[in-house]
Chains A and B, each alone.
Chain A
Amino acid sequence: MKIAVCVKQVPDATAAKRIDPSTKRLDRSGEGALNAADANAVEEALRLKEGAGDGEVVILSLGPEKALDSLRKALAMGADRAVLVADDAAAGSDLVATSYALAQALERESADLILFGQQAADSDGAVLWAAVAERLRRPLISQAAELTVEDGSVTGKRQTEFGYDVIHATLPAVVAVADSINTPRYPSLKGIMGAKRKPQEVLSLADAGVEAARVGVEGSRTEVLALNDPPGRGDTRTIEDDGSAAEQIVAFLAEKRLL
């Protein structure tokens, strides 16, 4: 079984995220990291491959060239190879443009199962998979908290506003997993060393069969018009526990007349 996992590099959680006022786009100049929820998708792919005893796990991403660092983390976890579609012309792609580019790149792979994480930390969209599934004309299961693959089909359990659904689809299919589905493994030292030698393809838009006019700002159907002031943070305060945190919480609750 061939499994493709779509992952994104997002700004490192320790860096303050900001929108560049000149481009009105997220400032991606700082340190990047593998989107945390995508590590769950990588982990699930590895488990499915291990369970089946054979198969291939391909990591796929659309992003700047430096995103390769984050794809290498997925390789260090155990994925077999990585494909990055990197082209300046794709910067600023919205949902329509990103889903088109990814679908084109995925067509080249014809994977049996395409996995997504639950959301990108820098977009909070939790939507991309549905657009990709539509372009590939494949069945979709989203927010899967449990997943089983057998006899050429996939079954997922997922939470909605009303309880739990169990959804079934025949492969090839698109599945987005919830972050509750597993605990991602830490890459071993051996894994990290080995990752460097695993195949890592960087594709231009043309290589991936993507029309440049359909991606980037040009190919996008949405735009950011203006940045407003951040909403007021109110009166928040944060303390480090120096052993007296419990006392400080009690004092705070007393001050608020909650005790």
Chain B
Amino acid sequence: MKRLSQKLWPPGIRLQMVCWYTAVFTLVLLLAGAAFYHYVENALENSVDTSLQIQAHQIAAEIVAGHDTLTIHDATGALSGLSGSQPVDGPFTVQQDTFVRLLDAQGQVVRETPDSRILQIPSQSITQALQGQPWQGTINTITGQEVQFYSQAFTVQGKPLLVLQVGQSLETLHALLHQLVVLLLMVGALALLVCAISSFLLTRRTFTPVQHLMQTAQRIKAGDLRQRVPVPAAQDEIRALAVSLNDMLDALDQTMTRQRRFVADASHELRTPVAVIRNKTSIVLLQPQKRQEYITVLHEVNTEAERLGKLISDLLALARGDEGHAPFERESVRLDVLVEATAASLQPLAEERAVQLTVHAEQPVTLMGDEARLIQVVMNLLENALRYTNAGGQVSLTVQLGPDQVQVVVQDTGIGIAPEHLPHLFGRFYQVDPARNSTERGSHGLGLSIVAWIVQAHGGTIAVTSQPGQGSCFTVTLPLIPLAPTNESR
């Protein structure tokens, strides 16, 4: 019992709809029934009044009045007990449930049907009739039954001669109305039952596709994001729901896949420096070493720790970028000065690798953007170029100003990139040569995806062309947004 009540409360949408349908239908039925009952009751009561009037006129026509005598012709047979031979105050009988009274102009009863004695007749019915106004209304018998009553005076030469009163019991009418109510209630209850059952079935029919969707969603919850819910053919709300569910699943699936790969790649990349550190320290701890040996190992550990730190910073930057939590500054940036300064800061690396680094940025170029991040773009591209160019090679950086955009071109004479790798180059942790230990070149596969992310955030594009063995060329195109004058000079 308790479980049933738990199942029913709070009511589910189907039960709610059934309840609402039934409630509305009940209200409609009640209103219609009440109106119908009222109409029938009125019509029946009117017909009783009319028949009483007709009866009164008929009786009046049968009474012939002489001086102080009444002659009654019982033509209608309604007044069988009122024949002229009988004494004026003698009893007479009429039809069952019909009352007739004859009164003289003074209001004294001349004749009446025997049952009339049980009537509680108001005096107004006589006085009003004598004044020329017919009286009609409902009166009670002493046993409490209702009787419709009609009272009218008949005049001869303007003088009221007698008052005729006719009444009819309303018992039959009430019995009829009672039967009507019972019938209405029975039909109504049946209609409500049919309505409830059919609305229950209809809602089940309506919710079948939703249940279908739900079952598929349940299966997907179990972990298989590649499943899709079936899309119905009809262009309706259910189809829209299914389509948007599938779109959501697509997006989730892609995100999850990317996330899984990212985490796998990141943990792999993080593990490498840690493994190097552990390896070096384990070896040096095997036996006592000279002081110089320790210093060498500590330097190596320091280098690895720095790499690790940079990797973690880059991971954090990309994660914040993905979340959309990386606010970009919008400041005026002198790009020509920026590339000169960035190249100057990388000159030591170029000298170390014996690569010639040249910059061509003669024209002043100003654009709106995040200066620190644009420095990062140029720095990452230059570092990459320097790393993948062997001693004696050249790296050149050129700024080309167009009418509404500016191009930063980094060209090297390095080892180049095979065509099959080009499309994936800006993906995270993409390694051109998986066999090569990334430590060898000092990069970790995140630099170019950070570059691509920053360039896109500035509304720009990045493109790459490469010839294996001859070198690569990275072209960053940034829009020049019209510049409002600022106080900052650069």
- Answer whether A and B are interacting partners: no
A contact residues vs B (CB 8 Å cutoff) = none
B contact residues vs A (CB 8 Å cutoff) = none
